[in-house]
């Protein structure tokens, strides 16, 4: 009988982080990033995320205490807190980290940061992107797009309908228009058309517009979880669909310079062709 090969040492150090599932009821931010740069993207986003949380929630200690009291009434949130207890102990010494925690989902080009009350991800992402646009300072290299998730549920239609009603009912009014930003990653439980049909049923008297709508409905399906949030459509477009690189380029004029350069090259080609 041959000897077993030893697989310890360096082989173990190359092992990727083990993945966790996003539990129903968890909310936060999906962060897309460059492929193969997930760990670097997580590190750089944590730095800017915690700085912004500290600016926006200077009194978060008392806010978190109040949120804990209200969360005590929600069994789902209690279960989530128990499951994340061991992870939160690592961040116990740093107060601002109590408001956000990365959940390692072990997915290519994708990260997820779980948020806690009083943070509302859809509001936070808008303020975060506006801050980048106004400051014209980009502190991330590998982070690409942010998708806020204000609520989430199990991957079945019954739970989705319940969640969607909570998210969408406040926006219902005659003539209201909406658009849907839907992403499905490692998800085949429910088809896109079925989602769209149920959203339309929840929004009677409202119209689906692919452009220039009143609101943007974000639906992010990942494995066993469906996340959802709503933002103002115009703000979503003005902030380059929450793409940090594009926000920075637009704010600093890089995009405009590229367009001008491209138009200039097209003009040269046209003139050259006419001469011939």
CATH number at residue 251: 3.30.2130.30
In a domain, 114, yes or no: yes
Q: Is residue 85 part of a domain?
A: yes
Q: Which residues of the chain have pLDDT under 50?
A: 9-15, 71-73, 89-93
> Is residue 1 a part of any domain in this protein?
no
Instruction: Decide if 7 is inside a domain.
Output: no
Number of domains in the chain: 1
150/218 Cα distance (integer angstroms): 10
100 found inside a domain:
yes
* Residue 214 domain flag: yes
Predicted local distance difference test score (pLDDT) of residue 271? 53
Residue 5 falls inside a structural domain? no
Parent domain of 82: 19-261
Q: Is 68 a domain residue?
A: yes
Residue 125, pLDDT score = 98
The pLDDT, as a whole number, for residue 65 is 53
Whole-model pTM over 0.75? yes
pLDDT for 254: 72
């Amino acid at each position: 009988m041959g000897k077993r090969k030893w697989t310890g040492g360096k082989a173990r150090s190359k092992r990727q982080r083990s993945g966790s599932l996003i539990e129903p009821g968890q909310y936060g931010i999906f962060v897309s990033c460059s492929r193969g740069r997930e760990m670097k993207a997580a590190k750089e986003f944590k730095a800017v995320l915690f700085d912004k949380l500290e600016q926006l929630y200077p009194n978060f200690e008392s806010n978190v205490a109040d949120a804990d009291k209200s969360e005590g009434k929600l069994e789902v949130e209690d279960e989530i807190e128990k499951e994340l207890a061991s992870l939160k102990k690592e961040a116990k010494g740093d107060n601002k980290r109590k408001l956000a925690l990365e959940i390692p989902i072990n997915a290519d080009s994708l990260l997820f940061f779980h948020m806690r009350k009083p943070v509302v991800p859809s509001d936070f992402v808008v303020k975060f992107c506006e801050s980048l646009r106004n400051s014209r300072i980009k502190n991330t290299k590998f982070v690409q797009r942010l998708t806020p998730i204000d609520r989430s549920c199990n991957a079945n239609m019954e739970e989705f309908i319940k969640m969607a009603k909570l998210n969408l009912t406040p926006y219902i009014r005659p003539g209201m228009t909406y658009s849907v930003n839907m992403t499905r990653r490692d998800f085949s439980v429910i088809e896109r058309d079925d989602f769209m049909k149920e959203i339309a049923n929840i929004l009677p008297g409202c119209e689906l517009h692919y452009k220039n709508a009143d609101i943007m409905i974000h639906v992010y399906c990942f494995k066993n979880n469906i996340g959802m949030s709503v933002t103002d459509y115009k703000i979503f477009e003005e902030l380059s669909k929450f793409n940090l690189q594009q926000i920075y380029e637009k704010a600093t004029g890089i995009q405009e310079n590229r367009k001008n350069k491209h138009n200039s090259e097209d003009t040269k080609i046209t003139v050259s062709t006419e001469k011939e």
